[in-house]
Structure 1
Amino acid sequence: MPIRTYWLPLCFLLVSTALFGQTSPKAFNDATDAFMKAHVDDGRVDYGRLKKSGADLSALYKQAGNTTLSGASDAEKKAFYINAYNVAVINGVVQQYPLKSPLDQPGFFDKVKHRIAGQEMTLNQLEKDRLLNAFGDARVHFVVVCAAVSCPPLASFAYMPDKLDAQLDERARLALNDPSFTQVNRGQKKVNVSKIFDWYKSDFTKGGQSILGYINGFRREKIPNDYALGFYEYNWTLNGR
């Protein structure tokens, strides 16, 4: 996959941050977009290559910490925090690489702290406090990616405030129509879904909606309401390539 064409805008944004300290959410999102286009392919990340030559990742991760959200709109904050989560996860894996799973590092999600927009927080705090609790949008579960095979696939682009709603819908539809993510067995009248729906059930069942009802809201081919619902085991193997 060609990567050279993305380096110039990425380098410009990162150098600007180094020179002036604080950066805007737009600058960080643009730099993240260039990084994801260069390093993510079909939801997979070449962590080994980033470990050997990851200067742009290190600078991007620092940029997440230096971003100021003063005066930012809700959409700008939401897009920034989604992108910051994905960058922090990739950086966390690269720092400890080689790993077979993010769980190989104790406290990867709930103990290790990251500087995000000037504040120290764990990945769990970033996901729950800054995104899920702040915005109440279950589609977030399809765009923040925990570096595991069973996660929804990591996008090869950054999330942008001016098209965020469409991007969130797109990624939710992508996951929920993927037969490996939503496993429908019509012969047995059963559907097995990700443990995400079990762990975060309350996010998907607001207003009395069922998990199956939420899923069908994004499905091209609806799942009958009488199908039994199960949860397959989460595969925490690293989403590397």
Structure 2
Amino acid sequence: MRAPIVVLSLFLMAVGTLVPRHPALAAPEADLWPDWQAHDPQSTLEIDHDAWQVLLDRYVTVQEPGVTSFDYASASQDGGAAKVNAYVEAMTKVTVDQLNRDQQFAYWVNLYNALTVKVVLDHYPVDSIRDIDISPGLFSSGPWGKKLIMVEGRTLSLDDIEHRILRPIWRDARIHYAVNCASIGCPALALKAYEASKLDDQLDQAAKGFINHSRAVRVGADGGLVLSSLYDWYRDDFRKSDADFIAHLRAFAGPKLAAILGDTTELDIADYEYDWALNAR
């Protein structure tokens, strides 16, 4: 009975030589789970995210415009992790279909971000969230596919929240600037919890903060543009044609980026890049 084990071992060794430990990410499709469309347009129920705000105030620091970090080391030592767990647990008790759309959006984004922080703290210390290999599947990387919580009797992963609920229901590219993946290359973890009454302003600020930082768009050595891999993975969400994508960037661009984009309607893209190092203080 040893032969099959040897063959399997050799196969796995061969696979390991062919597939990098963290292969390039392929973006999941926005695949709607229809049940989560249920909502109450007339609802005046409001979800209290003050507990999440307290955590953001305590552990999130602005490193430079458009870049924030989370103090995982302190949170893992001073009771912060337990408070993150408590907030996530409280959110799993919410009856989501009784909320209006804006309340739902704020609920899902805040829950996603808090759940991401919880995953990192559960496995801290790590150098990158991609080192938390708990997703099912032989070639999976990171924690995004792992079922982590139960809401209204259904188990959910981070991927489920982003790609089966947020993206397909709201179809707003600014979602990518709001959800945080605990990495330096990711759009910043917001200093403020998302609130239903302030969503447009908060999403615009998230977009501006990321788009005007060099990790989103910069001029490479050869004069071509180096873009965040976010714009490669989810290009369709940011509009397919170059002209429409440039219009998206231009809508949030400050003077420096506006000058880089000029009046062009076509992109000269030299490369895409992404820094997966942990967004730790």
Could you state the TM-score of these two structures normalised by the residue count of structure 1?
0.82
Query: Which residue, 72, 91, 97 being the options, matches 1:47?
Result: 72
Secondary structure class of the residue paired with 2:225: strand
Deviation at 1:100, TM superposition (A): 0.8
Change (3 A) 1:87 1:180: same
Cα deviations by residue, 1:113-148 (Å, 9 ceiling, x for unpaired): 223465311101101111111100000100100011
Report runs of 4+ in structure 1 exceeding 4 Å deviation: 206-209
Deviation at 1:155, TM superposition (A): 1.1
- The structure where helix makes up a greater share of residues is 1
**Percent identity between the two aligned chains:** 27
Secondary structure class of the residue paired with 1:111: coil
User: Radius of gyration: which is bigger?
Assistant: 2
Query: Which residue, 148, 172, 177 being the options, matches 2:207?
Result: 172
**What is the root-mean-square deviation in Å for CA atoms of aligned residues?**
2.0
Partner of 1:26: 47
Secondary structure class of the residue paired with 2:51: helix
Structure 2 letter corresponding to 1:100: D
Partner of 1:115: 150
CA distance in 2, matches of 1:140, 1:63: 23
Change (3 A) 1:230 1:139: farther
1:74-153 correspondence runs (5 A): 74-106=101-133, 107=135, 108-116=143-151, 119-153=154-188
State the number of aligned residues: 216
Structure 1 letter corresponding to 2:272: Y
Cα deviations by residue, 1:139-190 (Å, 9 ceiling, x for unpaired): 01001000111001111110000010110011101111113332135x8542
Structure 2 letter corresponding to 1:47: Y
Contact 1:110–1:124 (CA<8 Å) still a contact in 2? yes
Query: Which residue, 242, 245, 250 being the options, matches 1:216?
Result: 250
CA distance in 1, matches of 2:111, 2:46: 10
Secondary structure class of the residue paired with 1:62: helix
Query: Which residue, 88, 92, 114 being the options, matches 1:65?
Result: 92
CA distance in 1, matches of 2:198, 2:172: 15
Change (3 A) 1:86 1:231: farther
Could you state the TM-score of these two structures normalised by the residue count of structure 2?
0.71
